[in-house]
Every structure is written in structure tokens, then in C-alpha cells.
Structure 1
Amino acid sequence: MKITNETKVGALTCISIAILFIGYSFLKGNNVFSSENTFYTEYDNVEGLAVSKPVLVSGFQIGRVSNLTLQPNGKIKTEFKIKEDYAIPSNSVARIVSADLLGSKAIVFELGNSTSMARNGDPLLSDVQANLLEKVEPLQKKIENLVVKLDSVLSGVNSVLDANFQRDFKSSVHSISISLKNLEKITGDVDGLMGQERSKLTNILSNLESITTNFKNNDQKINSILTNLDQMSDQLAKTQIKETIDNANQAMMDVKSITDKINKGEGSIGLLLNDEQLYNNLNNASQNLDQLIFDLKNNPGKYLKISIFGKKDTK
């Protein structure tokens, strides 16, 4: 049977149309040779995402983006074609991630832990991963602010580091150098002195070691002596303190008795302190005695008769 050219052309045309359809469907994310489930979600921004972009789970492709549709509310409805072999939990998250440094995007499914699986046509949760530029931009602003502050600080430092400051700083460094030299000299002198007195220090340390050894060897005797001294001092302190307190109490009682007698007018001191008449008499007697002594000094002849020739004096 001979095939005509028209039949060949028709068959070739049908094959070409079929290949074109399959290729177009593949580019749109549709696989005509396998059954797939369709899921969708909505994003506020799908920059870098396009139809036929892969849908990945842990880096493994399980499907493709099949359609992008702008909704009346401004969001973009994104549909995914997932191979029927893979079960997707209903609480899975479809996250837009950066596929490369050029800004290309892909979809990564973060599988949830729900026991119920999403069915064909069910919506999924959505999320967008911040791209590298969005992460770098805040850091860039911080760096710019830091550079501005650093420039201000450097300007302030330059204004402080004037000629006078540099001269004073050099003078300070020179003074520090001189001080270090003097300290080095003092250290050398001390080292020399220690070398000269090394033998004496060795003897002193040897004596101290001998003394401490003796103390260590006679530790029990020293403790016994100190215990005896402690007991003796305690007994002596107790005896003397008791005797002193008794004597002080007796003395206070005697003083109190004397004071009571004086207050009552008993005894000479009590009479002198409490008998006003006796005090007045003594005061008058003292005045009369003063007058008598004064008169005796001024008129001794009034009281003494002296005869030069032995004549008997008359009254």
C-alpha cells in the first residue's frame, strides 16, 4: 500500500502539533504524561517568580509553578502542579526563596506535621523568604551611620592632636623614659645591696628556721607552759578582782557612813558644817586674834614691861 504525500504531510503536521502542545504544556508546568494534583496560595509579591519554576522539598523537585493570576485585592494567586506520588500535609507552607544571586525565585515546600493531607485544589500557607539584598540593606545603613560617627570622632581627635598636645605628649614620654631609667638604676642598687647582704640574710633565715624548728619540736611544752600561765593569770585575776571589789565596797560604805554623820552634825566636822553659832564664834575668835596680833605688833610696850636697871615693875 502506497502512502500518499498528503497523508505523510498530515501525519507530520499532527505529530508537530502534538510535540508543540506537549512542549507548551511542559513550559507552563504541566506534565501531560503523569497525573498531578493542583494546589494554590496567594502572595503579596512574586518578584522573580515565573511559571514553570520548580517546587522543591529539601532540594528535591516535586512539581512546578503552573499559573500566576493577579487577584482584585492586589495579591497574586499562585498555582502549583505537584506529582500525585507525593502526599502534602494540609498545614504545609509554600515559601518563595532565592534560587540564585541573580534574583531568580523558586518555591520550597516546608512540609507540616498534620496527619490530614491536602487534596487536589486545596489552598496552602504562604511565606516569602527575605532576599540577600533585603538582609544587607539594614546592615548597609548601620555601616553608613558608623562611618559618619567614626568620621566625627576622627575629626575631634584631629582637633585635639594639635601642636601643643604633640609637644606635651613628647615631653610626657621623655619624662616616663627618665623615670624608667631611674627605676632601673634603683633596681640595680637594690640588687647590689642584696648581693652584699646575702650572707647576712642567709644567716638570719637559718636562725629563723632553727627557731621555728625548736618551736615545732617543743610545741607540747610551750602549749603546757601557756596553759599553766593562763590558769595562773585567771586565778590571780579572779582573786585580785574580788579583793579589790570588796575593799572598794568597804571604802564606799565607810565614806557613806562618814558623810551621813557629817550631814547629821555628828563629830567636829559635822558641827563645823552644821552648827552656825559655832562657825560664827570661831570666825569672831579668829578676827579677835588677828586684831590682837596686829595691836601687839604696833604697841608691844602695852603688853611687855622691860626694866634696864632691874627696878621692879609696877602694874
Structure 2
Amino acid sequence: MKFSKEIRVGLLVAISIVILLLGFNWLKGNNIFNTGTDYQVVYSNANGLQRGDHVLIDGFEIGKVKEINLQSNQRGVNVILNVTEDIKIPVDSKAVIGGDLLGEKYVQIQLGTSTVIAKEKALFLGEVEDDVQGQIKLLSGKINAMITSIDTTINVLSSIFTESLKDDFAKSITGIKQTLESFNNSAAKFNAILVREEPRIEEIITNVSSTTDFVNKSEVEVTAILENLKSLSDSLNSVQWQELAKELDKAVESITIMSDKINSGQGTLGMMVNDKDLYKELTQTLSTLDSVLAQFGNNPEIRLILFGGKKDKKPG
């Protein structure tokens, strides 16, 4: 069967239109072979969202924005989300409009915790997060204000720092530098002294350690002495001092009475002490006895006669 030239041109145009429509929908992210599931979201502000923008869950694309229409009362925007992935979305999920630094918009699905799964045409709660570009503009404004403040501060400082003040400041910096150099030199000298005197320092530390050990050992002895003193003090405290004083008084009184009797000539001892003639006779008797004993010691023959011995005869 032969087609006329007009029919062939018509078929070619029709096929081209179909391919163009398919390519256009493909570029928009619409898959005509997979209708997916539609969900509704109402926003107070679409924030620049357009048809064909991505629908994401944790950064993974699950669909596209299918339609964007004003509400019938012209208060809010009704958005249709077409989800082509086989994902079960809880009914309490949120659809949040976000954007990147380049101004591209997207809808981020924040899954809820409900066990009830949303059905087709279900209505999700819509939110709009802070616009990144708006935040950048706000931050840019703050940075510009800060730059202006810094520029003003620099101008004020420039007016304050006159040439004389700059010279004084330079001198102060020089003085600080010299002070630091002097400190470094002193530190180096001190370090050299420490290195040179290290043996003596170690000896001193050893002596201190020995002294500490001696003190620790002496502490035990001192403790024992203190305990002995305490025991002695307790013993002295237990002595009946009043009764001892009474006994001493009695002894002193007896000695006094005896002394008075001797001085008054009472008794044999008193007569011997106070009678001078008796004292002389006793002295003479003792002298005579001493002389006799001396002769007795110097003459052995007297001892033989007295004790019954015989005197040896001298050979003729």
C-alpha cells in the first residue's frame, strides 16, 4: 500500500510532536508510563516553587511537583506532589519547601511516626523553611554593617594615632622587645646555673630527704618519750601527797624532839654530847686502846703468849 506524500508528511509531523511531548515531559521529570501517587499540600507561600521541582526524602528523589494552583479563596497555594517511588508515607508526615544556594527549590518529605499510611490524594501539612538566599542576604547586610563599623573605627583610630603618639608607641614596642630580650638572657643564665649546680641541688635534695627520714624516725621515739612522761605524770597524780606531807611533818617533828633532848643532855647520847669530862675520858681511852693494838700488831710473840703458843728458841 502506497501512501501519498501528504500522508507521510502528516505522520512524520505527528510522530515528531509525540516525541517532542515525551521529551518535554521527560525533561520536566514527568514519566507518562508511570503515573505514580498524587498527594496534596497547602502552603501559605509557595516561595518560588515550580512544577517539575524535585520531591525528596532524606535527599533521595521520589517524585516531582505536578501542579501548583491558588486556593479558591486565593489564600494559600495548593500543590500536587506526584510520588513515583513505591514508598509508604505516614499520614502525619510534613512536606517542607526548601532551597539550595543556587536558588533551586525542592520539597522535602519529613516522615511522621503514625502507623496509618497516607492514601492517594491525602493532604499533608506544608511548611516553608528559611530561604537560603534570604539568609545570605540577611548575613550580607550584617557583614556590610560590620564593615561600615570597622571602617569607622579605623578612621577614629587614625585620627587618634598622631605622629607623636605613633613614635611613643614605637618606643614602647622597642622597650617591650628589649625587656623580653633581657628576660631571655636572664632565663638562659639561670638555666646555665641550674646545669652547673645540678650535683649540689641533687645533694641538697638527698640531705633534705635524709633529714625527713630522720625526723620521721625520731617522731616514733619522741612519741614513746611523751607516752612515758604521760605515764609518769599519771603516776605522780595518783600519789597521795597530803598523806605523804603529814608523814614528813611527823618525821621532822620526831627529829626535832630528839635533837632537843640531845641538846638538853637527856639520855646517854645527850650526856655524851654535853659532858666534856666524859668526852675527854672517852678520847683518852680510845687513844690508849689504839696504842695497845699497835704494840700487839708489832710483837708477834705477845700474840703467842696470849693465845697459848710457845716462843721458838734460837739455835745455840
TM-score by length of 2: 0.53
Question: Using the alignment, how far apart are the partners of 2:103 and 2:81 within structure 1?
Answer: 20
- The 3 A distance-change label for structure 1 pair 200 and 141 is closer
- Partner amino acid for 1:162? T
The residue that corresponds to 2:128 in the other structure is 128
The residue that corresponds to 2:279 in the other structure is none
Deviation at 1:103, TM superposition (A): 1.6
Question: Using the alignment, how far apart are the partners of 1:188 and 1:28 within structure 2?
Answer: 77
| 3-state SS of 1:112 partner | coil
Deviation at 1:109, TM superposition (A): 2.0
Question: Using the alignment, how far apart are the partners of 1:236 and 1:121 within structure 2?
Answer: 109
The residue that corresponds to 2:105 in the other structure is 105
Contact 2:47 2:97 (C-alpha < 8 Å) held by counterparts: no
Question: Using the alignment, how far apart are the partners of 1:198 and 1:14 within structure 2?
Answer: 103
Any idea what the Cα deviations from partners look like across 1:9-37, whole Å, max 9, x if unmatched? 66556655655665566677654433433
- Partner amino acid for 1:150? I
- The 3 A distance-change label for structure 1 pair 137 and 218 is same
The residue that corresponds to 2:273 in the other structure is none
The residue that corresponds to 1:225 in the other structure is 225
Question: Using the alignment, how far apart are the partners of 2:233 and 2:121 within structure 1?
Answer: 106
| 3-state SS of 1:116 partner | coil
Contact 2:101 2:133 (C-alpha < 8 Å) held by counterparts: no
Question: Using the alignment, how far apart are the partners of 1:116 and 1:22 within structure 2?
Answer: 36
The residue that corresponds to 2:53 in the other structure is 53
Question: Using the alignment, how far apart are the partners of 1:190 and 1:86 within structure 2?
Answer: 77
- The answer as to 2:58 corresponding to 1:75 is no
Residues paired across the two proteins, number: 239
Deviation at 1:160, TM superposition (A): 4.1
The residue that corresponds to 1:41 in the other structure is 41
Contact 1:43 1:75 (C-alpha < 8 Å) held by counterparts: yes
- The 3 A distance-change label for structure 1 pair 174 and 62 is closer
Any idea what the Cα deviations from partners look like across 1:66-117, whole Å, max 9, x if unmatched? 222123334222112223843332122222222x543222222222222222
The residue that corresponds to 1:86 in the other structure is 87
**Between 78-87 and 167-176, the greater mean CA deviation after superposition:** 167-176
Contact 1:92 1:109 (C-alpha < 8 Å) held by counterparts: yes
- The answer as to 2:97 corresponding to 1:96 is yes
| 3-state SS of 1:96 partner | strand
Deviation at 1:153, TM superposition (A): 3.8
Question: Using the alignment, how far apart are the partners of 1:50 and 1:132 within structure 2?
Answer: 17
**Between 80-89 and 15-24, the greater mean CA deviation after superposition:** 15-24
Any idea what the Cα deviations from partners look like across 1:205-254, whole Å, max 9, x if unmatched? 898777666555554433333445567789999x9xxxxxxxxxxxxxxx
Query: What is the percentage of aligned positions where both structures have the same residue?
Result: 31
Deviation at 1:127, TM superposition (A): 1.8
Question: Using the alignment, how far apart are the partners of 1:200 and 1:63 within structure 2?
Answer: 84
Question: Using the alignment, how far apart are the partners of 1:17 and 1:183 within structure 2?
Answer: 89
- Partner amino acid for 1:60? F
Question: Using the alignment, how far apart are the partners of 1:199 and 1:53 within structure 2?
Answer: 82
| 3-state SS of 2:123 partner | coil
1:207-218 to 2 correspondences below 5 Å: 215=215, 218=218
- The 3 A distance-change label for structure 1 pair 235 and 138 is farther
- The 3 A distance-change label for structure 1 pair 89 and 223 is closer
TM-score by length of 1: 0.53
| 3-state SS of 1:91 partner | coil
Question: Using the alignment, how far apart are the partners of 1:30 and 1:188 within structure 2?
Answer: 79
Deviation at 1:174, TM superposition (A): 6.6
Contact 2:103 2:133 (C-alpha < 8 Å) held by counterparts: no
Question: Using the alignment, how far apart are the partners of 2:198 and 2:7 within structure 1?
Answer: 125
Contact 1:53 1:107 (C-alpha < 8 Å) held by counterparts: yes
Contact 2:62 2:85 (C-alpha < 8 Å) held by counterparts: no
| 3-state SS of 1:78 partner | strand
| RMSD between aligned residues | 5.0
- The 3 A distance-change label for structure 1 pair 154 and 37 is same
- Partner amino acid for 1:117? I
